[in-house]
Amino acid sequence: MKKFGLIGYPLSHSFSQKYFTEKFRKENIHDCVYENFSLPDIEQISSILISEPQLQGLNVTIPYKEKIIPFLHFKNDVVEKTGACNCIKIKNGKLYGYNTDVIGFEISLKKKLKDYHKHALILGTGGAAKAVEYVMKKSGIDYKFVSRKVSSDNTINYGDLDESIIQSNTLIINTAPIGMYPNVDAYPNIPYHALTAKHYLFDLIYNPEKTMFLQKGEEHGAAIQNGHEMLIIQAEESWRIWNEG
């Protein structure tokens, strides 16, 4: 039996486990299972690999997309450039790291992206934000990070956001878990009243389907997109990676 899984903490709910279990059922794949591995400490990855010799692939979620890097034996170019990994192929005891967030986000983002979306705000600075930054650079979109802690010249504090900043950055991407179930009433602290019909709000969260962040954007006529399609794309890319070569 081939085993695949997800590592992160906490794993109160998992898109990946539900998605792959359903995929195996629909496609009559009887020799594969997908499990969650909730790890309070990333160091526990070593014991998981020993106790689960049938493991052939892992997805990586919050808060380990960056912390998993030292455990990898190989990193592809995207992982090298982003410093974040959300997909691992296990072969002959070696961990091969990939980042499928990038392709998932890029494909989903571009369906509603317009020519005038030239300046972006990336809310959050974690592992998912690194994938978004990679796509911004690739797409030629100017961007700034927004965080509670300013750690670089390209990062601004939530408290410094004003109408002019919101109006000049018509693409706003939330990469933080603010508003994720069960905290569905929470939302990033930005001047929503400055949003217009030219704005495009993308939330990497998929549960709930429409976060408060997206609801507030929609109320002002902005285009909105959640992270569900992105997750499906990155999941299928993970499956491809695990089964190639």
Backbone angles phi, psi at 243, to 5 degrees: -105, 0
Which residues are known to be catalytic? 65
For 124-128, 141-145, 236-240, which range has the lowest pLDDT when averaged over its residues? Answer: 124-128
**Residue range 21-59, pLDDT digits in tens:** 999 999 999 999 999 999 999 999 999 999 999 999 999
What is the structure's pLDDT at 245? 73
- Helical ranges in 57-115 per DSSP H: 77-82, 101-110
For residues 32 and 21, give the distance between their C-alpha atoms in angstroms, rounded to a whole number: 9
**Residue range 137-147, pLDDT digits in tens:** 999 999 999 99
What is the structure's pLDDT at 52? 96
What is the structure's pLDDT at 192? 98
What is the structure's pLDDT at 176? 94
Q: Is there a cis peptide before residue 53, judged by omega within 30 degrees of 0? A: no
What is the structure's pLDDT at 149? 87
What is the structure's pLDDT at 90? 98
- Name the nearest CA neighbour of 92 among 31, 49, 32: 49
Q: What percent of the chain has pLDDT over 90?
A: 94
**Residue range 200-228, pLDDT digits in tens:** 999 999 999 999 999 999 999 999 999 99
- Name the nearest CA neighbour of 211 among 175, 166, 190, 181: 181
**Residue 151 binned pLDDT confidence (cut-offs 50, 70, 90):** confident
For residues 162 and 165, give the distance between their C-alpha atoms in angstroms, rounded to a whole number: 5
